[in-house]
């Protein structure tokens, strides 16, 4: 859907091939493309202007490198500039010297504060901390219930306050008292969404801040925000002094240019990125990845990390050996599919791929999660012997398997055919990737499987 | 859901936060619209005014600044370029001499785009009229439904609400609070139940009891999640099983702070659930919601209502002329 910026630049800067140096004139078409791309990604226009000026300055007079095409060269400069704005390091959370550490979640209505509060609480627990949550959103109907339900599912305590208590300050204070009494080391305060121009509610936040001296005030911002991001972030920062940014809804297809604007106007680091509705869909922020995304270049790093996090190392190595020895059976195939599902939805995986080449084609196809379930069902309906040696699966066995898995013989045929192709494909890929070390090999094998599976159109018709 | 039951069973319902602000002054619709989008105007028109007052001559710099003014309203590069191109041509042909005329030209063009997409709300020949509310997470669907229900009720219609957001924690309770405020019945099931099942119940109830309107709340979903979009398609089909021409309106609720992604949202939701109009929320902030102009231009979707606050009557029917007029006054 989005065209890769470097592809666009490639076209715009094609004429540069013959030239020795980048000049203002020969770069102009390319810079125009960059400008449009950044604006379409919702980067604030002033930031865009700065970036373009920066590139001009950096690129002017540079030799046209032979290794990189002029387009790539300009994109590289742009990337570096953007990473510089976003900051090169991912930030950690600040903790108070004296527990409990108080963390505020603030932002506009609907930016995802409550969901992020729950996710961050889970993240804290994973990192050995003992948070207690409190919602001081006494305005939105059922807001406090929402946090209570989320926390209950995560088995993290919530301070509900005494019956009928409706004063944010008292609720927050009570939560801190409770943390001290029960020895919990972090208090997360989920505040009500408010407009940055709502004087009264902004004053309420300052009051909360004065009373609780939070170590972190995290500004929760929607990745889909447009040019207004600058105004709201600026105002929140001026009034409260935010200490970090959480960028939410990054599992959609918004480019997230607002990240650049917010960072630029507040000078505060982006700390986390929300990537889904599940409580563990929160990732530490990596500048390079967001830059790639704003430029439409995919987020391969996040993908690798996800794969590594969820794949059983030993199993993967075993799988690789099997591949090499041509010992890859249908039950291995099933195991692989099951492992793959652990990584996340197919869609979220596809979203992270660069939008070029083979991936671009894949992304156009509707990925049906159920397809995987059906494949697994078919394999489950086989006998161990059949799984070990697919060659023995004759017509009558196929009929039985189809019956057992609630599919048709044709589906079983399809699966077997795909399995055969996947085997072939993987063999060649894993052979080629052996030199890349364990990590690359594993990923390669996984992707190989992916491609093997998707090389043919996804099961047609009724699948 | 024993967990939820125990949670809600043991806890008395959330004390309803009563809106306590001063009674809204009785003002004309136009005034309220103007008031609501005052900041919108302040942003865009101030920028244009500044550029115009600062300079008498129309030159490349002025045009560039005008373009930035449009872009900062989230109108988008394409639409902005189009507007500016038109002006540039006239300037080149010496048809515009005075920079003040630029305002009129921009207004004229935006109005043209918005009016081109305008069409009346659909109503069922035989009640109930079914309105499906869709949108990404956090745009204000539930709040809008409360206000919309109030809007229909105060114009004399009977309204039934359908709590088909069975996914988000406490979404049903949130809708019920609005139901209480407006004295409107809410058809609900448990959290986690099939939204189509709730819809089926609600439509049957509405049909049997001859309600004028059924407004259906759905879970917020990102338009990139194919499965969730399929769920909306299923809801459409379910609605059609009970009432063949339902849903009569599918309103995409969009946050005015949304940037260029809004266009993609509109596209995807239209594909899966047949969006018939937009409700633009949170226009009481500084965000301009200009992306709806791009949406009207590319997808010909009309803007039905605008949300300008958190009170029950902070939902106003959208009128392109008044909207642009307020912008350019």
CB B174 within 8 Å of CB A141: yes
Q: Which of B61, B161, B169 to mutate to probe the A interface, most A CBs <10 Å?
A: B169
Q: Kindly list the domain boundaries of chain A, sorted by start residue.
A: 3-86, 101-293, 302-453
Q: Determine the pLDDT at residue A268.
A: 93
Contacts of A138 in chain B (CB under 8 A): 17
CA distance A205 to A194: 10
pTM above 0.80, yes or no: no
Q: Determine the pLDDT at residue B58.
A: 67
For A161, A246, A254, the CA distances from A112, given in Å and listed in that order, are 23, 9, 15
Q: Summarize pLDDT for A219-238 with one digit per residue, the tens.
A: 999 999 999 999 999 999 99
Instruction: Please give the helix or strand (H or E) that residue A432 lies within, else none.
Output: helix A409-433
At residue B22 the predicted structure's pLDDT band, cuts being 50, 70 and 90, is very low
Q: Summarize pLDDT for A321-351 with one digit per residue, the tens.
A: 766 666 778 887 787 777 766 666 666 666 5
The answer to whether the Cα torsion of A267, A271, A272, A273 is positive or negative is: positive
Q: Summarize pLDDT for B41-94 with one digit per residue, the tens.
A: 455 566 666 666 655 566 777 777 778 878 888 988 888 888 888 888 877 777
- Spatial neighbors of B60 by CB under 8 A, at least 6 apart, are none
Q: Summarize pLDDT for B114-146 with one digit per residue, the tens.
A: 988 888 888 998 899 999 999 999 999 999 999
CA distance A372 to B231: 19
CA distance A18 to A41: 31
The answer to whether the Cα torsion of A252, A254, A260, A263 is positive or negative is: negative
CA distance B79 to B82: 5
Q: Summarize pLDDT for A28-82 with one digit per residue, the tens.
A: 877 888 888 889 889 999 999 989 988 888 887 776 665 566 666 777 788 888 8
CA distance B286 to B14: 31
Of residues A270 and A443, more confidently modeled: A270
Nearest to B262 by CA among B248, B279, B276, B247: B279
- CATH top class, domain A3-86: mainly alpha
Q: Which of residues 114-143 of B touch A (CB under 8 A)?
A: 136-140, 142
Is A110 within 8 Å of B138 when comparing Cβ atoms?
A: yes
Q: What is the dihedral of CA B192, A374, A253, A76, to 10 degrees?
A: 140
Nearest to A248 by CA among A201, A290, A214: A290
A164 sits in the region (left: phi over 0; alpha: psi -120 to 50; else beta) called left
Instruction: Please give the helix or strand (H or E) that residue A147 lies within, else none.
Output: helix A143-154
Nearest to B129 by CA among B302, B246, B252: B246
DSSP class per residue in A241-263: ---EEEEE-TTSS---THHHHHH
CA distance B133 to A369: 26
Q: Is B325 exposed, middle or buried (0-12, 13-18, 19+ CB in 10 A)?
A: middle
Range A182-193 average pLDDT? 96
CA distance B11 to B164: 23
CA distance B32 to B24: 10
Percent of chain A exceeding pLDDT 70 equals 72
Q: Which of residues 252-271 of A touch B (CB under 8 A)?
A: 252-255, 257-258
Of residues A180 and A430, more confidently modeled: A180
- Mean model confidence pLDDT for chain A: 80
CA distance A437 to B230: 41
Token pair recorded at residue B100: 């003040």
Q: What is the dihedral of CA A104, A107, A113, A114, to 10 degrees?
A: 80
Q: Check CB contact of B291 with chain A, cutoff 8 Å.
A: yes
The CA distance from A445 to the nearest CA of chain B, in Å, is 26
Instruction: Please give the helix or strand (H or E) that residue A402 lies within, else none.
Output: helix A395-405
* ipTM exceeding 0.95, yes/no: no
pLDDT at A186 over 80: yes
Q: Check CB contact of B3 with chain A, cutoff 8 Å.
A: yes
Nearest to B170 by CA among B13, B310, B309: B13
- Spatial neighbors of A37 by CB under 8 A, at least 6 apart, are A5, A8, A295, A296
- CATH top class, domain A302-453: mainly alpha
Q: Determine the pLDDT at residue A136.
A: 96
**Weakest mean pLDDT among A39-53, B25-39, B223-237, B246-260:** B25-39
Of residues A126 and A70, more confidently modeled: A126
At residue B148 the predicted structure's pLDDT band, cuts being 50, 70 and 90, is very high
A101-293 — its CATH code? Answer: 3.40.50.300
Tokens 């409580």 belong to which residue?
A279
The CA distance from B261 to the nearest CA of chain A, in Å, is 5
Q: Which of residues 15-74 of B touch A (CB under 8 A)?
A: 15-17, 39, 68, 71-74
Q: Determine the pLDDT at residue A446.
A: 45
What count of other Cβ atoms lies within 10 Å of the Cβ of residue B313? Answer: 13
Closest to A112 (Cβ–Cβ): which among B15, B77, B138? B138
**Weakest mean pLDDT among A327-341, B183-197, B223-237:** A327-341
Range B233-253 average pLDDT? 95
Q: Summarize pLDDT for B256-312 with one digit per residue, the tens.
A: 999 999 999 999 999 999 999 999 999 888 888 889 999 999 999 999 999 999 899
Range A376-384 average pLDDT? 90
Q: Determine the pLDDT at residue B201.
A: 96
DSSP class per residue in A9-76: HHHHTGGGGG-SB--HHHHHHHHHHHHHHHHHTT--HHHHHHHHHHHHHHHTT-B--SSS-HHHHHHH
pLDDT at A458 over 50: no
Ranges of H-type helices in B243-289: 261-273
Percent of chain A exceeding pLDDT 90 equals 41
Q: Summarize pLDDT for B199-218 with one digit per residue, the tens.
A: 999 999 999 999 999 999 99
At residue A447 the predicted structure's pLDDT band, cuts being 50, 70 and 90, is very low
Q: Which of residues 42-101 of A touch B (CB under 8 A)?
A: 42, 44-45
Q: What is the dihedral of CA B273, A359, A452, A455, to 10 degrees?
A: 70
CA distance B248 to B238: 13
Q: Determine the pLDDT at residue B244.
A: 94
pLDDT at B328 over 90: no
Q: Which of residues 338-357 of A touch B (CB under 8 A)?
A: 345, 347, 351
Helix (H, G, I), strand (E, B) or coil at B299: helix
CA distance B162 to A431: 57
Q: Determine the pLDDT at residue A8.
A: 64
Q: Determine the pLDDT at residue A112.
A: 94
Q: Determine the pLDDT at residue B18.
A: 43
């Amino acid at each position: 859907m989005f065209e890769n910026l470097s592809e666009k630049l490639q076209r715009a800067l094609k004429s540069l091939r013959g030239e020795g140096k980048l000049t203002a004139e020969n770069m102009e078409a390319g810079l125009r493309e960059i400008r449009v791309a950044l604006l379409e990604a919702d980067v604030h226009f002033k930031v865009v202007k700065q970036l373009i000026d920066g590139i001009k300055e950096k690129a002017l007079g540079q030799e046209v490198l032979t290794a990189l095409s002029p387009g790539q060269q300009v994109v590289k400069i742009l990337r570096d500039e953007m990473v510089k704005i976003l900051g090169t390091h991912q930030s950690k959370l600040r903790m108070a010297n004296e527990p409990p550490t108080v963390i505020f979640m603030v932002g506009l209505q609907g930016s995802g504060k409550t969901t992020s509060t729950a996710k961050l609480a889970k993240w804290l627990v994973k990192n050995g901390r003992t948070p207690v949550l409190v919602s001081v959103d006494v305005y939105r109907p059922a807001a406090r219930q929402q946090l209570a339900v989320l926390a209950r599912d995560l088995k993290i305590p919530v301070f509900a306050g005494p019956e009928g208590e409706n004063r944010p300050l008292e609720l927050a204070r009570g939560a801190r008292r409770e943390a001290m009494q029960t020895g919990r080391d972090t208090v997360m305060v989920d505040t009500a969404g408010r407009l940055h121009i709502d004087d009264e509610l902004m004053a309420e936040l300052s009051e909360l801040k004065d009373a609780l001296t939070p170590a972190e005030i995290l500004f929760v911002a929607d990745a889909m925000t447009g040019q207004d991001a600058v105004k709201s972030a600026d105002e929140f920062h001026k009034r409260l002094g935010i200490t970090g940014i959480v960028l939410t809804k990054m599992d959609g297809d918004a480019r997230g240019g607002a990240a650049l604007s917010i960072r630029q106007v507040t000078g505060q680091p982006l700390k986390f990125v929300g990537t889904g509705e599940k409580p563990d869909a929160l990732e530490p922020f990596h500048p390079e990845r967001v830059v790639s995304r704003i430029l439409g270049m995919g987020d391969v790093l996040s993908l690798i990390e996800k794969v590594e996090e969820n794949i059983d190392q030993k199993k993967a190595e075993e799988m690789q050996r099997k591949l090499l020895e041509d010992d890859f059976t249908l039950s291995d195939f099933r195991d692989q599919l099951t492992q793959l599902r652990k990584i996340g939805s197919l869609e979220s995986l596809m979203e992270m791929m660069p939008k070029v080449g083979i991936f671009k084609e894949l992304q156009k196809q509707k990925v049906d999660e159920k397809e995987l379930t059906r494949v697994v069902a078919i394999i489950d309906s086989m006998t161990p012997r059949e799984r070990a040696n697919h060659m023995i699966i004759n017509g009558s066995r196929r009929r039985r398997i189809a019956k057992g898995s609630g599919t048709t013989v044709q589906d079983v045929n399809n699966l077997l055919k795909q399995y055969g192709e996947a085997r072939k494909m993987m063999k060649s890929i894993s052979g080629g990737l052996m030199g890349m070390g364990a990590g690359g090999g594993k990923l390669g094998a996984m992707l190989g499987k992916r491609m093997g599976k998707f090389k043919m159109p996804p099961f047609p018709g009724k699948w | 859901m024993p967990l939820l039951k125990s949670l809600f069973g043991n806890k008395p319902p959330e004390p309803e936060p009563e809106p306590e602000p001063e009674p809204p002054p009785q003002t004309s619709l136009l005034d309220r619209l103007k008031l609501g989008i005052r900041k919108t105007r302040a942003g865009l028109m101030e920028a244009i005014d500044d550029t115009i007052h600062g300079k008498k001559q129309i030159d490349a710099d002025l045009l560039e600044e005008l373009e930035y003014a449009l872009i900062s309203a989230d109108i988008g590069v394409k639409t902005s370029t189009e507007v500016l191109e038109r002006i540039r041509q006239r300037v080149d042909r010496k048809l515009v001499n005075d920079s003040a005329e630029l305002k009129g030209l921009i207004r004229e063009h935006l109005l043209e785009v918005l009016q081109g997409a305008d069409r009346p709300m659909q109503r069922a020949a035989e009640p109930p009229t079914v309105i499906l509310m869709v949108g990404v997470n956090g745009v204000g669907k539930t709040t809008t439904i409360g206000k919309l229900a109030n809007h229909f009720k105060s114009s004399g219609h009977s309204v039934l609400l359908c709590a088909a957001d069975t996914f988000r924690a406490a979404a049903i309770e949130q809708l019920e609070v609005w139901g209480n405020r407006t004295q409107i019945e809410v058809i609900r099931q448990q959290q986690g139940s099939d939204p189509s099942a709730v819809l089926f119940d609600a439509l049957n109830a509405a049909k049997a009891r001859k309600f004028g309107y059924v407004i259906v709340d759905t879970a917020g979903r990102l338009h990139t999640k194919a499965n969730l979009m399929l769920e909306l398609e299923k809801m459409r089909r379910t609605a059609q099983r009970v009432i063949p021409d339902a849903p009569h309106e599918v309103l995409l609720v969009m946050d005015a702070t949304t940037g260029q992604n809004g266009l993609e949202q509109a596209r995807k939701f239209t594909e899966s659930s047949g969006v018939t109009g937009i409700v633009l929320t949170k226009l009481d902030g500084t965000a301009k919601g200009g992306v709806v102009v791009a949406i009207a231009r590319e997808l010909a979707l009309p803007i039905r209502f605008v949300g300008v606050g958190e009170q029950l009557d902070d939902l106003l029917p959208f009128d392109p002329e008044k909207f642009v007029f307020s912008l350019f006054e």
